[in-house]
Structure 1
Amino acid sequence: MALFHVQGVPIGGIAIMLAIVASMGGFIFGYDTGQISDMLLMDDFLLRFAQCDAPGDVSTCKFSNVRSGLIVGLLSIGTLFGALIGAPTADFLGRRYAMVVECGVFCVGVLVQMVTFGNWKQLAVGRLISGLGVGALSAAVPMYQAETAPPQIRGALTATYQLFITLGILIAYCVSIGSRELDGASSWRTVVGIGFAWPAILAIGILFMPESPRWLAKRGRFDEMRRSLARTRGIPKGQEHSDPIVNREVEEIKSNVEFEKNVQAGWLACFKVKNMVLYRTILGMSLQSLQQLTGANYFFYYGATIFQSVGIQDSFVTQIILGAVNFGCTFLGLYVMHTFGRRIPLMLGSAWCAIWLFVFAAAGTAVDPTTDEGIGKVMIVSACLFILGYATAWAPGIWILIGETFPTSTRAKQGALSTASNWLWNFLLAFFTPFITSAIDYQYGFIFASCNILGLLVVFFFLYESSGLSLEAVDQMYNDPNCKPWTSRNWAPPGYKDRKDLIEQIRAAEQSKPLAEIKHFENASDVSREDRV
C-alpha cells in the first residue's frame, strides 16, 4: 500500500527505504572524510606516522606538508579512479550488485590501514584502496536513487545521499572525541575499525531493495521493471498491470529504451555534440568541480587544525559543532531542493557562501586570531554560517543533478566522469591546502569565495531546471531549442501548458484511474524521435 501521496501520486514505503539504504554509500564517504581530520592530531598517530625530532616525544612530532597531503589526499585519488570504474561495473552487474562489490573493496582498504604499525605509506595505500570503493559508490548510489525514485520526490530522496555524508562526518567526529583518550593505537584504530560496520549494512540491505527499473528495461526485463516501479509506488503485487501511474512510467521508459537502442553508448558517446550530450557532460563535470571549490572540504579535512590555529582550546569539540551544523542544515536542504527546485537554491547558496567566506578570510587576515579571541570567534561563526549555505544548496543539489541530468544510454558514464572531476579537485585541495595555507594563510578563503561567485554564474547561464520531471522529460527539455536555462523553470513536455499543468494532469490521472485519460508526453510531442537521433 502507498505510504503517502505527493501531488496526488502514491509513494510507497520502499521508495523511502531504498533511499536510506543506498545512502549508506554516502555515510561511508562521509565517515572516511571526517575521521582523518581528528586522527592527524592524536598522539599515537603522530608518534607512529609523523616526523619527530625526539622519538617518543609527541610535542616534537609534526606532519610535513607532503606527508599530511598524501595521507589525506590519496583517498581522493582512489575515489577518482573508483568513480570511473564504477560506471561500467554498475552497467554490467546492475546497480545493486555493483554496490555489494564496492563495499567489499572498501573493507579491504580498511583492513590494510588497521594492520599497519608505523609505515605511513601503508596507511596511505589503505586509504587509496578504500577510496576505490568510495568512488565507485559515489557514482552508483545517486544514479540508482534517481533511476528508482518516483519523480515527485526524486530530489528529496536523492539528496539523502548528501544527508548521510554529513551524518558520516558527524559520527566520525564523535567517535574520534570518544576514542582519543584510549591507550596507544586503540585511539585511531577504533576510529578506522568501526568503518567495517557501514559497508556491511549497505551490502546486506541493498539486496532487499528493487533494482533500477531503467537498468532492467535496458536488459529487456520488462516484467521486473514494472514490478520495481510498482514497489516504489506501494502498489500491491498483481495490481501493477492495472495502475495508470505505473503504466504511464512503463511506457515512457520503454519508449526511451527503444529510441536509445541505436544510440552509441561507449565513453566517446559522452562527448558527442548532438542532443546536448557534450554540453551536459561538461556541465556535470563543472558542477562537481565547483562543489569542491566552494571550500567545504577545507574545513572538513583540516578543520581541527584550523580551529587549533585560531586559539580554540579543544578543536575536537569545535569540529563536532561544525559537523552538527552541516548535518542539521542538510535537512533544510532536503526541503529546499524539493520545494524550490535546483537553480534558485544553488544561486542563492553560492551568494551566501561567498559572503561568509569573505568575512572569514578578511577577519583572519586583518587581525591575528591567536592573539584576539573575538576575531577567532568571528571566524568560527563565519565558518558555521558558510556550512549552513553549503549544506542547504550545493551539498545536496549537485548529487541530485548528477542523477537526473543525463540520458539513460550514457547516464552511468557521464555520472562517472562528473564524479571523477569532483574527486580530482578533492585530491588537489586535500594535497595542496597545507602548502597554500603556509603561503597565504586565511586569505585562502578569498579564493573559495570567488569560486562560489563563479558557481552562481555557471548555474544561471547553463543549468536547466529539472525538478518535477521524469528523467525522460529532462532529456527532452535539454533537446528543446526553444528552452533556455533561465526559462526552463516553466518548461513542460509538449501537450502541457506548463509544469503546473503537468502536475495537475498526473494527479487527475491517478484520481480518475482509466489509462485512456493519461496524457503521454511522447504522444503529444511535436518533436519526432527520428529528429533526435
Structure 2
Amino acid sequence: MFEGSHILGEYSCCADIPAKMTTDPLEEDEVLQNKKRETKKYIFACAVFASLNSVLLGYDVGVMSGAIIFIQEDLKITEVQQEVLVGILSIISLLGSLAGGKTSDAIGRKWTIGLAVVIFQTGGAVMALAPSFKVLMIGRLMAGVGIGFGVMIAPVYIAEISPAIARGSLTSFPEIFINFGILLGYISNYAFSRLPPHINWRVMLGVGLLPSVVIAIALFVIPESPRWLVVQNRIEEARAVLLKINDSEKEAEEKLQEIQVAAGSANADNYESKAVWKEILCPTPPVRRMLITGCGIQCFQQVTGIDATVYYSPTIFKNAGITGNSELLAATVAVGFTKTLFILIAIFLIDKLGRKPLLYASTIGMTICLFSLSLSLAFLSHAKVGIALAILAVCGNVASFSVGLGPICWVLSSEIFPLRLRAQASALGAVGSRVSSGAISMSFLSVSSAITVAGTFFVFGCISCCAVGFVHYCVPETRGKTLEEIEVLFKDEDDLEESEVEMGDVERLVQKS
C-alpha cells in the first residue's frame, strides 16, 4: 500500500513507515490520513515558493507609487518621464513573458522561475544605485524582463502540480503575493519617506531585492512540473514527482497515464511534430475560444484601470483634497491593506463558489466603485465627504478587483489551454496583460490632464461594464475539473468526435510504450 512512500523524503513524516503494514483498518486509515495531510502541505509549500516571484512585481508597483514623488524631486524628471518610468516596466515585461513560454518549454518551469529572479535582481540593483534617469531606465528595463518571466510561469507551474479540487485556490497564490508585495511597497514608502530625497527612493527600491534570496533557496526545494517532465519523455522523474503530490501510488500512476495521453505521449511524437505557434496563430475553433477567453480576461484585468489606481493613488487622493506627502502615502497604505485582505477572502471562495460567480461580483463591484470615484472627484473634490467617498471608492475598487478579476484571471489563463500549448498561450495572455498595463500606466497622467482624473475613471467604469458582458458570454465555469477535462468545455460536438478518435490512437501508442 505504501510502496514508494520513501519518495517523499524529508517532506513526509511517513517516510520511515515500513512497507508492510498491519492489517488493522484503523491504523491503515490513520496512516492514509497522515499521508494526505503531508501531501497537502508539500503542494502548499511548492505553490508558496513558486509564487514568491510575484512579490517582486507587487513591491515594484506599490513602491513606485511613492518613490516617483522623490525621484522627481531628486532627478528633476518631467511628467512624461514619470509616465515612461512607471509604465515601461509593464511594456518591457512582455519580452520576458514571450520568451518565458519558449524558455519554460526548453529548460523547465522550475528553472525559468530562477532565471526570472536573476534578471530582476540585477535590474533592481541598477535602479537602486542609478546616478541619473538614463541609468534608472536601464535598470527598469532589466527588472521588467525579469518580471515578465515571473508573472507568466508561476501560475502555469502551480496549475500543473495542483489537484483539481484545490487548483483555483493554489493558482491564486501569485495574485496574493502581488498584493502582499504592493502592501510592502506602500509601507516602505511611508517608512522611508522621511529620509533625505536623494536617499529615500534608493532605499525603497533596494529593499525589493530581499525576496530574491528566499526564491533562490526555494528552487532547491520545489520539484519540476510532472507534465513538463512527461513532455520531455522523462517518465521516471515525472512518476517520482507525482508520488510526492498524490495520496497513493495507484493515484499517481493513473495521473501519469492521463498526462501521457493529454501530452500526446513522447512516443507518439505529437508534441514535437506540431508547431505550437502555428497552432496558436492559426487556431482551430476550440483553441480560438480558449485564446479569446484567456487573452480577453487578461486584458480586461488591466484596462479597467487597476494599475492606474495603484500606481497613481497619491495623485487620486491629491485630486480628492488630501495634502502633504505623508498623508497621501498613509492613505495608500489603507488601499494596500484592503487589497491584500480581499485577495485572502478570494482564496477561500474560489474553489467553493466557482470562478464565474466571483467574476460577476468583481466586475459589477468595480463598475459601481469606478463610477462613484468619478462622481466624487468631479463634484465633491476637497470636501470632507468627497475625500471620504474617494477613499471608500478606491478601497472598494481594489477590494472588488482582488476578490475576483485579479486572481481568477491567472487561474483561467493557466488552466484552460491544453498541455502542448499551455506555456506559450499563457505567455501570450501575459503579454496582453502587460501591454494593457503599460498603456494605461504610461498614458494616465496625460489622459487625466486632457479629460480630468474624474473623466478618466468614468472611462474605466464604462470598460468595466463591458467586462461584465465578457464574463457572461466568454468565460466557462472550470471549478473542480481536471486540466484535461477543461479542454472539453471549449469543444463542440464535431470537435469532441474528432478528439475521441485521436485520443484512442494516442492511448494505444501509450499502452505499447
TM-score, scaled to structure 2: 0.87
2:342 alignment partner, SS class: helix
Q: Which residue of 2 aligns with 1:519?
A: none
Question: Which stretch has the larger CA shift, 122-131 or 314-323?
Answer: 122-131
- Cα-to-partner distance string for 1:483-513 (whole Å, 9 max, x where unaligned): 9xxxxxxxxx99xxxxxxxxxxxxxxxxxxx
Q: Which residue of 2 aligns with 1:337?
A: 350
State yes or no: 1:481 paired with 2:507: no
Q: Which residue of 2 aligns with 1:309?
A: 319
Match of 1:262 among 257, 266, 270: 270
Task: Output the CA distance in 1 between the equivalents of 2:501 and 2:207.
Answer: 54
Q: What do you get for the CA RMSD once the two structures are aligned?
A: 2.5
Q: How does 1:25-64 map to 2 (within 5 A)?
A: 25-42=53-70, 45-51=71-77, 63-64=78-79
Q: Which residue of 1 aligns with 2:502?
A: 529
Q: Which residue of 2 aligns with 1:168?
A: 181
Q: 2:302·2:433 contact (CA, 8 Å) conserved in 1?
A: yes
Task: Output the CA distance in 2 between the equivalents of 1:395 and 1:526.
Answer: 33
Q: How does 1:269-280 map to 2 (within 5 A)?
A: 269-274=279-284, 276-280=286-290
Q: Which residue of 2 aligns with 1:86?
A: 100
Q: Which residue of 1 aligns with 2:116?
A: 102
Distance 1:37 1:4, change over 3 A: farther
Instruction: Flag the structure with higher helix content.
Output: 2
Task: Output the CA distance in 2 between the equivalents of 1:4 and 1:479.
Answer: 38
Q: How does 1:219-234 map to 2 (within 5 A)?
A: 219-233=232-246
Q: Which residue of 2 aligns with 1:319?
A: 332
1:326 deviates by 0.1
Write the letter of the residue equivalent to 2:160: E
Task: Output the CA distance in 2 between the equivalents of 1:477 and 1:423.
Answer: 27
2:182 alignment partner, SS class: helix
Percent identical pairs in the alignment equals: 25
1:274 deviates by 2.1
Match of 2:450 among 439, 459, 467: 439
1:245 deviates by 2.0
Q: Which residue of 1 aligns with 2:416?
A: 405
Distance 1:318 1:457, change over 3 A: same
Distance 1:297 1:400, change over 3 A: same
- Cα-to-partner distance string for 1:453-489 (whole Å, 9 max, x where unaligned): 2111112111121121111111123224399xxxxxx
State yes or no: 1:179 paired with 2:188: no
Distance 1:452 1:4, change over 3 A: farther
1:248 deviates by 2.0
1:284 deviates by 1.4
Distance 1:268 1:4, change over 3 A: farther
Q: 2:374·2:457 contact (CA, 8 Å) conserved in 1?
A: yes
Write the letter of the residue equivalent to 2:314: A
**Unaligned 5+ runs, structure 2:** 1-11, 15-30, 507-513
Q: 1:271·1:278 contact (CA, 8 Å) conserved in 2?
A: no
1:277 deviates by 1.2
Question: Which stretch has the larger CA shift, 275-284 or 94-103?
Answer: 275-284
Q: Which residue of 1 aligns with 2:17?
A: none
Q: Which residue of 1 aligns with 2:147?
A: 134
- Cα-to-partner distance string for 1:172-210 (whole Å, 9 max, x where unaligned): 111111111123432111111112211221122022111
Q: 1:4·1:10 contact (CA, 8 Å) conserved in 2?
A: no
1:4 deviates by 9.9
1:46 deviates by 2.6
State yes or no: 1:382 paired with 2:393: yes
- Could you list the runs of 4 or more consecutive aligned residues of structure 1 that deviate by over 4 angstroms after TM superposition? 1-6, 8-11, 530-533
Task: Output the CA distance in 1 between the equivalents of 2:37 and 2:398.
Answer: 34
Task: Output the CA distance in 1 between the equivalents of 2:370 and 2:45.
Answer: 37
Write the letter of the residue equivalent to 1:160: F
Q: How does 1:507-518 map to 2 (within 5 A)?
A: none
Q: Which residue of 1 aligns with 2:476?
A: 464
1:454 alignment partner, SS class: helix
Question: Which stretch has the larger CA shift, 155-164 or 445-454?
Answer: 445-454
